[in-house]
Amino acid sequence: MWRHVALVRDGRRDPEAAVAWRRVREGAEKMGNIAAQLDAAEGIARSTRRIAPAEAIGRYEEALALAARAGDRLREAAILNTLGILDYERGDYASALRRYETGLAMARVRGDRGHEGLMLNSIGVTLTRLQRHEEARTALDEALVVNRQSRQRLLESHTFAALGDLAQGVGRFEAAVEYFGSSLAIRRELDDQPGADAMRQRLASVRAAAGERES
């Protein structure tokens, strides 16, 4: 019953969801149910993230340890990705990179091309932030191949956008226009209006930057 309560509160983004998830975890620990403990730990982490993102890192690390104990490699990779995002959002790019690289290695062991492409995208974006441009380009070029082979069109669009950001950052404006245009085409194909609008804004930005340099 506490799990049902937790799910309802979680769905409503209720700040009290974490309280319910803790009751679920207490019961799961008494029964020695690792899978239920993992569900509860992720629920606690999600709820904490909504109200105190910095504190959520510790909660997600607890969930990560449980996923490893349960041998749930898919959940482990997903939690690593979330931890990478949290580190990235707070500007700790070195830590984010380590998370993504660990997730990439796990995806390759499983032969999970979808998660491999996702992690390569994240690595490329993070390396760009770290000003490691050549390494970023290598990761994103590899991501493009993987995402095309796995037919992950949305991830492919993200790769093109990341390549555009990288190109714009180093002053390769014509290349950036081409990359953003490719991302925009996929967004239109997927009928992703918010994504298409974001790409139009990026195209306008890079064209304005190119015009300023020429003037």
Q: What percent of the chain has pLDDT over 90?
A: 66
End-to-end Cα spacing for the chain: 67
Residue 78 DSSP class:
H
Question: Which pLDDT does position 26 carry in this prediction?
Answer: 87
Residues 6+ apart with CB under 8 A from 141: none
Question: Which pLDDT does position 215 carry in this prediction?
Answer: 46
For residue 196, give both structure tokens.
């298409």
Confidence band of 54 (pLDDT split at 50, 70, 90): confident
User: Do 84 and 129 fall into the same domain?
Assistant: yes
Question: Which pLDDT does position 214 carry in this prediction?
Answer: 53
Q: Tell me which of 201 and 16 has the higher pLDDT.
A: 201
Q: Whole-number mean pLDDT of the chain?
A: 91
CATH number at residue 94: 1.25.40.10
User: Do 171 and 139 fall into the same domain?
Assistant: no
pLDDT in tens, 133-164: 999 999 999 999 999 999 999 999 999 999 99
Residue type, 142: E
Q: What is the DSSP secondary-structure string of 135-183?
A: HHHHHHHHHHHHHHHTT-HHHHHHHHHHHHHHHHHTT-HHHHHHHHHHH
Residues 6+ apart with CB under 8 A from 44: 18, 21, 22, 25, 59, 62, 63
User: Do 1 and 54 fall into the same domain?
Assistant: yes
Average pLDDT over residues 18-37: 88
For residue 188, give both structure tokens.
């239109």
Confidence band of 91 (pLDDT split at 50, 70, 90): very high
Q: If you search the block for the tokens 């309280």, which residue do you land on?
A: 19
CATH number at residue 213: 1.25.40
Question: Which pLDDT does position 149 carry in this prediction?
Answer: 94
Residue 192 DSSP class:
-
Total tally of structural domains belonging to the chain: 3
Helix boundaries (H) for 90-152 = 93-110, 113-129, 133-149
Question: Distance between CA atoms of 215 and 211, rounded to whole angstroms?
Answer: 6
Question: Which pLDDT does position 5 carry in this prediction?
Answer: 79
For residue 120, give both structure tokens.
């390569």
Domain that holds residue 97: 72-151
Question: Which pLDDT does position 186 carry in this prediction?
Answer: 96
Q: At which of 14, 42, 71 does a domain end?
A: 71
User: Do 61 and 109 fall into the same domain?
Assistant: no
User: Do 205 and 180 fall into the same domain?
Assistant: yes
User: Is pLDDT at 85 greater than 90 in this prediction?
Assistant: yes
Confidence band of 212 (pLDDT split at 50, 70, 90): low
User: Do 66 and 82 fall into the same domain?
Assistant: no
Confidence band of 125 (pLDDT split at 50, 70, 90): very high
Are the C-beta atoms of 26 and 3 separated by less than 8 Å?
no
Q: If you search the block for the tokens 């490691």, which residue do you land on?
A: 132
Question: Which pLDDT does position 210 carry in this prediction?
Answer: 78
